[in-house]
Amino acid sequence: MRGYATMIKVLFICHGNICRSPMAEFIFKSMANNLGVSDKFSVCSRATSDEEIWNGVGQPIYPKAKEQLLYHGIAIGDKKAIKLKRNDYYEADMFIGMDSANIRNMKILFGGDADYKIHKLLEFTESNSDVVDPWYSGDFDKAYNDIEMGCNALLSFLLFENS
C-alpha cells in the first residue's frame, strides 16, 4: 500500500450490495470522518452479482442492515446496489470482499489479481475468517461487529502504511 500520494479508492464488495458491503462502506466512512481523515479516502461498495439490480435499478440497503447502521448512529443516504465491473479493477486501489466467495468471484471477473488489490476484510484482523452473511444467518449484530472490527483494522493498516 505504500506510495499512494493522494486519495486511496476502496471498494467494499459482497454478493448483492444490500447488506454487508454497504454496511462496510458507511462504517468505514464514519470511522474516517471521526478521525478527520475522510479526505484521504474514496469509499464505495459494489455487488458481484446483479440479483439486487432490476431493470438497471439497484435495490436500496436491506432494511435490517439500514436499521443496524442507524442504531449505531451512522447515516447512509440513498445508497442503491451497484454491480462490480471489470473496468473497476483499473480505477480502484483496493477491493475488500466480505467472504471467500466474493474473493473468488472478483478474481474471475477481473481475470486474476496481478496487482494484489483484492483482500478479504477480516484478513486485516487476527481472524481472517469470513464476515457472517446476515441475509442467511439473520444475525445483523454479528455482521455489524465483524465489519466494524475489520474496518477498524483496515483503516489502521492504511493510515500506518501511508504515514
Q: 161 Cβ partners below 8 Å, 6+ apart?
A: 1, 2
- Bridge partners (DSSP) of residue 11 are 44, 95
Active site residue 14: yes
AA letter at 61:
I
Active site residue 104: no
DSSP letter (8 states) at residue 92: -
Q: 123 Cβ partners below 8 Å, 6+ apart?
A: none
Q: What cell numbers appear for 89 in the block? A: 479493477
Q: What cell numbers appear for 95 in the block? A: 477491493
Considering 88, 99, 130, 133, which one is annotated as catalytic? 133
Judged by phi (left if over 0) then psi (alpha if -120 to 50, else beta), residue 133 lies in beta
Active site residue 139: no
Considering 20, 88, 146, 151, which one is annotated as catalytic? 20
Considering 14, 46, 88, 99, which one is annotated as catalytic? 14
85: exposed, middle or buried (C-beta count within 10 Å: 0-12, 13-18, 19+)?
A: exposed
Instruction: Give catalytic residues, as residue numbers.
Output: 14, 20, 133
